[in-house]
Structure 1
């Protein structure tokens, strides 16, 4: 049997390539007679650059940026020369990833996206025509204000002190934003994310995302207010772009992906970024359709399969694309938090959890590679019994 292993990262614990390798090792133990191909995938979060580099080649350029608390960390960007243009791929999580902070350092009220702005500056210095920013897995909730400050939109002491400080921002905070827009006018910016969260509201980034980054309910409410004020400041600094169909001003804060990485998506939209589903872009770059059509079974994986995974995730993208080829797709999940009805609706032929209760979660975290390898071995025996 020909098996295609096409997983996402396991949060910040294992990258997509590491997950795919562990699963392939387990599959070889359970079904050594199978032909296994690895095709790691990404939804724009940790591992995005590794996946794109594996698919497209290109040149990795090393740099140094600030982490969410302003400490220097190593980072890279990927340069890919294509006919007629040069593209830089940027992984925002290298600068603002939750994995960069210890558990007791996580506070989305004070973390900043300044390092993402530094990554964009590094890309622009390479003379690129296009910048694709993979956004996911962030520890910030500053509406992308820190990134804008790093690009020259305004003073760092007003914009780069975290989301809570934005409540005191005035019109002078974004005095340089028109100049930033002029500087970027000749560069195509692409926002690649699987996060469809809007910026504000009950389903916005402060309400939905901030608690997982260490925010208390009171902090989440304060961040909601501060980001609302920040959008007003942005609206006074630059005119809202017009919708090409209706001719009416666009509400960027309400657009899908505006709330990605605590509002980093919103700031990229302000800069004129074109939003694309990261999964769709990665599936295209990796040639997933052809690989799936040439396989008998597709196996994907994620650390957590819940209601947010039903659409706009690596798992949902793999399931949909595989269904179009007529092949079955199954998923191995660290935690499986949806029922059979939801997974069947997604088009999955089977779901296998690494952890069914809290004790197993602890064991999984202690040895994620070994746990993945063991589960893949059992799944292989189910789908490809010994001859």
Structure 2
């Protein structure tokens, strides 16, 4: 049997490539008579660059950027040449990821997206005509103000001190924004994210995402007010308001789907003329998933934690939907599964298998993520492809 193994990352313990390698090893152990192909995937967060670099090749440019608290961390930009034009791929979580902070350092009121701006600067310096930013998760909640400061739109003292400081942003905090827009005028800026959160409101990033990053209820409300102030400053600083192509009326960027992605990083990128695309759809296309799935007899995907949010905008849901078009079955190996079989079946999954179902199994998974994932995948292989 021909088996395609196409997982996402398993939380912060295993990246997509590591997870695919462990699952491939396990499947080969359980069904040595099968042909196994590995195709790690990403939803725009950690692993985005590794996945695309593995699939597309290209040149990796190493650099150093600031983490959410301003400390230097290594990062990279992937450059791919196409028809004489350079496309740059950026993984925002290299500069904003929660994995860069200790549990006691998580404070979305103080963290900044300055480092993502430096990555964007690197891509521009390399002459990129198209820049694709994988935007997922992260530890920030500053509406991309830090990124704008890094590009020269305004002073770091006003914009790069975290989301709460934006409550005091002066009216002229973004005087340099028109010059930044001129510099990006010839660049196709692509925001690859499956997050649909708007920037403001009861379903906005401060209300929904900030508490997951360490914010208290009162801090989340303060962040909402601060980001509201920042949108007023940005709206007045735009040389021309962006217009809706259908109605011709001004667009309210803070209300658009994806504006709240990564703590509002999506909002700043939309204000710079970016266009939003689905990260999973983009990765599936760039990695040639459809062709790989069509030549397989079975597709095996994976993720660290499967819950209600996994039912849309995730690698698991994207793989299941794309594989249905090839009339191949898809099974899921997950670290933990917090939804029932009925929910996973609605995605088109033929089977769902958890690495850990009990507290002791969770402890074992945390202690040995590679070994436990490989062992569980080996058992799944013996179920789906028994020895002849």
> What is the aligned partner in structure 1 of residue 236 from structure 2?
236
> What is the aligned partner in structure 2 of residue 149 from structure 1?
149
> What is the aligned partner in structure 2 of residue 71 from structure 1?
71
> What is the aligned partner in structure 2 of residue 339 from structure 1?
340
> What is the aligned partner in structure 2 of residue 286 from structure 1?
287
Q: How big is the shift at 1:106?
A: 0.7
> What is the aligned partner in structure 2 of residue 139 from structure 1?
139
> What is the aligned partner in structure 2 of residue 163 from structure 1?
163
Instruction: Say whether 1:317 aligns with 2:318.
Output: yes
Q: Is the 8 A contact 1:174 1:233 kept in 2?
A: yes
For the residues of structure 2 that align with 1:208 and 1:339, how far apart are their CA atoms?
A: 24
Query: What SS class does the counterpart of residue 290 from structure 2 fall into?
Result: helix
231-240 or 28-37: bigger deviation: 231-240
For the residues of structure 2 that align with 1:145 and 1:286, how far apart are their CA atoms?
A: 32
User: Structure 2: 5+ residue runs without aligned partners?
Assistant: none
> What is the aligned partner in structure 2 of residue 112 from structure 1?
112
Describe the superposition over 1:53-90 as per-residue Cα deviations: whole angstroms up to 9, x where unpaired. Answer: 11111000000000000001111100100003111101
User: Structure 1: 5+ residue runs without aligned partners?
Assistant: none
129-138 or 115-124: bigger deviation: 129-138
> What is the aligned partner in structure 2 of residue 23 from structure 1?
23
Q: Is the 8 A contact 1:3 1:35 kept in 2?
A: yes
Q: Is the 8 A contact 1:301 1:331 kept in 2?
A: yes
Say what the alpha-carbon RMSD is for the aligned residues. Answer: 1.0
Q: When the two structures are superposed, what TM-score results if normalisation uses the length of structure 2?
A: 0.98
Give matches, 1:340-355, under 5 Å. Answer: 340-355=341-356
Describe the superposition over 1:331-383 as per-residue Cα deviations: whole angstroms up to 9, x where unpaired. Answer: 11122122222211111111111222333323222211111111101111111
Give matches, 1:1-387, under 5 Å. Answer: 1-238=1-238, 239-387=240-388
For the residues of structure 1 that align with 2:83 and 2:265, how far apart are their CA atoms?
A: 30
Q: How big is the shift at 1:148?
A: 0.4
4+ residue stretches of structure 1 with deviation over 4 A? none
For the residues of structure 2 that align with 1:246 and 1:363, how far apart are their CA atoms?
A: 56
For the residues of structure 2 that align with 1:366 and 1:251, how far apart are their CA atoms?
A: 47
Q: When the two structures are superposed, what TM-score results if normalisation uses the length of structure 1?
A: 0.98
For the residues of structure 2 that align with 1:91 and 1:260, how far apart are their CA atoms?
A: 13
Q: Is the 8 A contact 1:11 1:137 kept in 2?
A: no
Change (3 A) 1:221 1:362: farther
Query: What SS class does the counterpart of residue 121 from structure 2 fall into?
Result: helix
Q: Is the 8 A contact 1:181 1:271 kept in 2?
A: yes
Aligned residues: 387
For the residues of structure 1 that align with 2:215 and 2:202, how far apart are their CA atoms?
A: 15
Describe the superposition over 1:76-130 as per-residue Cα deviations: whole angstroms up to 9, x where unpaired. Answer: 1001000031111011011111111111111111000000000000110001101
Describe the superposition over 1:162-218 as per-residue Cα deviations: whole angstroms up to 9, x where unpaired. Answer: 001111112111111111111100111000012121111222111221122111111
For the residues of structure 1 that align with 2:222 and 2:247, how far apart are their CA atoms?
A: 34
For the residues of structure 1 that align with 2:233 and 2:335, how far apart are their CA atoms?
A: 41
For the residues of structure 1 that align with 2:250 and 2:342, how far apart are their CA atoms?
A: 40
Query: What SS class does the counterpart of residue 172 from structure 2 fall into?
Result: helix
Q: How big is the shift at 1:20?
A: 0.0
Q: Is the 8 A contact 1:111 1:140 kept in 2?
A: yes
Q: Is the 8 A contact 1:188 1:273 kept in 2?
A: yes
